[in-house]
Chains A and B, each alone.
Chain A
Amino acid sequence: MKILGISAFYHDSAAALIDGGEIIAAAQEERFSRKKHDANFPTQAIRFCLEEGGCSLKELDVIAFYDKPFLKFERLLETYYGFAPKGVRSFIKSMPVWLNEKLFIKKKIFDELKKIESFDKKKIKLLFPEHHLSHAASAFYPSPFKKAAIITLDGVGEWATTSMCIGDGNGIKLLKEMHFPHSVGLLYSAFTYFLGFKVNSGEYKLMGLAPYGNPNSERVKEFIKIIKKKFITLYDDGSVWLEQKYFNYATGLEMTQNYAWEKLLKIKKRNPEDPLLQIHCDLAWAIQNITEEVVLKMAIHVQEVTGLKKLCLAGGVALNCVANGKLIEEKIFDEIYIQPAAGDAGGSLGSALASHYIYFEKERELNFPDAMKGSYLGNYFHSFEIEKFIKKQKAVAQKLDDEKLYQYLAEELSQGKIVGWFQGRMEFGPRALGARSILGDPRNSDMQKQLNLKIKYRESFRPFAPSVLEEDAHLYFEGIHQSPYMLQVHQVKGEHWEKIPENYSSLTMKEKLYEDRSVLPAITHVDFSARVQTVSRKTNPKYWDLLQAFKKKTGLGMLVNTSFNVRGEPIVCTPSDAYACFMNTEMDILVVENYLFLKSEQPEWHNRKKWEQQFELD
């Protein structure tokens, strides 16, 4: 039974193909279209999935879309009705979109699919599982758990913004939901917006900024007090009530009532290009702290209600790896599984899996460590394709065998060189996991600045994550078992810390940034945390071998791993994307499978300006 799952028309469009419950392929449209968070119908991602599965549209048993458009339309209408006469401007803007496109989603899907190939629409079954069911399914079915509690948290689906469920065998039972406009995701997004970052993409920046806040300061305490007293009511089960007079997302075209926020918080709304001040970091710390409290309360509640010791997480908020780290640290559950594509892209996979197990009631077999295949579910390139590209590009490359290549790279990395690493199938989800990654030496004090300013062209405060040999992770990080998808933070072990000033927590953002905090300065964030990826020989043998070679050279089985892209650019998809990124930045070496490209040997590159203009800043 072949099922194609689709997420589209909101943000992070994606497609996923499953066959008999096995995940065959999954990819985000942004990787092909080169538009970050692309919301368009995922034509290219579908083409790739069908090609990978060796099937045509006619051979599909079902096409599943990841939410229920009518239910969403109902929510919109009820919201406008409930808030009327407010929201006229928003209504005027949104109705044409709905009446032209979104309400007629079946027709839209069929029209778009016809561009891929012709088929008889009467023979294709379309299913529309709910948004949060798609998220829950994306986490539970690939997990190694027979029975588990499930929490899904995001901005909003149809009505639900959070759901608590039990997954048992091939079924998912809903326990309770929290409904729009009350939403943890939208609360976090409101602060993202107020602090001058983009909604739907800047949430990572807010999370990275939070540790620069001073938790001991009166200002942070005051922020927390105001948020809890005025903006939200937080209940024991983790549900939140958002006081709508302070928010504008339900009917307005902005997230927050800026005047009221400025008056209460005594801070101006930050514009995107304004400098980041300590007060912004303090506010980021406050909302991150509250989000963690919400997630912990929900986890405690669902554990008490279900009595289960295993938890699955999905939804955009599940990408908050700091909150995930706290959840693991608190040991509320024995085991936690988080879907690596926890955002809406993963909804495509979830909708396909929900159709297979719930609609068709198919038996479920457990996979260990999970059924996601390391999340390496995207496209890959054969040698002949790479050679064709090299010839066309007139690039200079040499093919090396594995051992020579890894030895050479280990030597160069240890000398401070930065390597673009393109290997095997592309990752599904927002994280680069060693298939489309930029690598560096974590011991190098300048690496964070160098990577941020000369390679990624992004804000200097943003931290970098380590990839570490699975077997060695416990030597460097507290409380770690496995973290294959880089979805949780762990503290760097105290023995690796450098001596820090006594007044460290009250240092300014810049002072903290330039302080060497540990012997692994490039991956140790200002609060001594790191967003760790453990690399297993089983799921990514080539990356594991490279880490081994680096360990042989330096004694350290760890590398800095950041996504292979620049600010505003989707992660590279093809050797051509990788080469353009390599040539347009100050990266030293590019490796595409076994082909080695040295910057010093490449012909002159003229496309930089055009390439820079291609990507809107995130």
Chain B
Amino acid sequence: MDTIKELFAFLMERKKFWLVPVILVLLFLGILLVIGGGSSAAPFIYTLF
């Protein structure tokens, strides 16, 4: 929970309000992926590291 609070505080600090709905949707999709058992092994591409 602390991390989520910090994440939103970070977005406020960066004034990236438009990212809030994007994050919520992406988080929702992401949570579905995690629940769906997606692998947490990192893909090899550098930028995702």
Instruction: List 19 additional A-B contacts (Cβ < 8 Å) besides A94-B48, A254-B45.
Output: A39-B42, A39-B49, A70-B6, A74-B16, A77-B26, A78-B19, A79-B47, A93-B39, A95-B26, A95-B29, A96-B34, A96-B38, A99-B31, A99-B33, A186-B46, A199-B44, A199-B45, A200-B46, A249-B47
Inter-chain CA distance A250–B45, complex, in Å, is 9
Interface residues of B (CB under 8 A from A): 2-3, 6-7, 10-11, 14, 16, 19, 22-23, 26-27, 29-31, 33-34, 38-49
B40 touches A80 (CB 8 A): no
Q: Which of A66-110 contact B (CB under 8 A)?
A: 70-71, 73-74, 76-81, 90-101, 103-104, 106-107
Q: Give the residue of B2, B19, B38, B46 whose beta carbon is less than 8 angstroms from that of A95.
A: B38
Would A253 and B43 be within 8 Å (CB), given that A77-B22, A96-B33, A103-B3 are in contact?
yes
Contacts of A142 in B (CB 8 A): none
Inter-chain CA distance A252–B47, complex, in Å, is 10
Closest to B48 in A: A94
The answer, yes or no, to whether A11 is at the interface (CB within 8 Å) is: yes
Q: Give the residue of B23, B44, B47 whose beta carbon is less than 8 angstroms from that of A180.
A: B47
Inter-chain CA distance A11–B7, complex, in Å, is 24
Interface residues of A (CB under 8 A from B): 9-11, 39, 70-71, 73-74, 76-81, 90-101, 103-104, 106-107, 155-156, 180-181, 186, 189, 199-200, 249-250, 252-255
Q: Give the residue of A9, A98, A252, A253 whose beta carbon is less than 8 angstroms from that of B30.
A: A98
Q: Give the residue of B27, B33, B40, B45 whose beta carbon is less than 8 angstroms from that of A253.
A: B45
Would A95 and B30 be within 8 Å (CB), given that A11-B49, A77-B19 are in contact?
yes
B6 touches A255 (CB 8 A): no
A92 touches B3 (CB 8 A): no
Contacts of B22 in A (CB 8 A): 77, 81
Closest to A104 in B: B3
B33 touches A97 (CB 8 A): no
Contacts of B45 in A (CB 8 A): 90, 199, 249, 252-255
Inter-chain CA distance A93–B30, complex, in Å, is 10
Interface of A is mostly: helix
Task: List the 9 closest A-B pairs by CB distance, nearest first.
Answer: A95-B30, A10-B49, A96-B38, A93-B43, A70-B10, A100-B40, A96-B40, A94-B48, A99-B30
Contacts of B41 in A (CB 8 A): 97
Contacts of B11 in A (CB 8 A): 74
Contacts of B48 in A (CB 8 A): 76, 90, 93-94, 97
Contacts of A252 in B (CB 8 A): 45
Minimal beta-carbon separation of B28 from chain A (angstroms): 11
Inter-chain CA distance A250–B46, complex, in Å, is 9
Minimal beta-carbon separation of B5 from chain A (angstroms): 12
Inter-chain CA distance A193–B11, complex, in Å, is 35
Inter-chain CA distance A150–B7, complex, in Å, is 31
Would A106 and B46 be within 8 Å (CB), given that A78-B19, A93-B39, A99-B27 are in contact?
no
Contacts of B42 in A (CB 8 A): 39, 94, 97
Closest to B49 in A: A10
Inter-chain CA distance A70–B16, complex, in Å, is 12
Inter-chain CA distance A411–B44, complex, in Å, is 47
B47 touches A199 (CB 8 A): no
Would A95 and B47 be within 8 Å (CB), given that A77-B19, A77-B23 are in contact?
no
- Offer 17 A-B interface pairs, CB within 8 angstroms, sorted by A: A9-B49, A39-B49, A74-B11, A77-B22, A79-B47, A81-B22, A90-B43, A90-B45, A92-B38, A95-B30, A96-B39, A103-B3, A104-B3, A156-B46, A189-B46, A199-B46, A252-B45
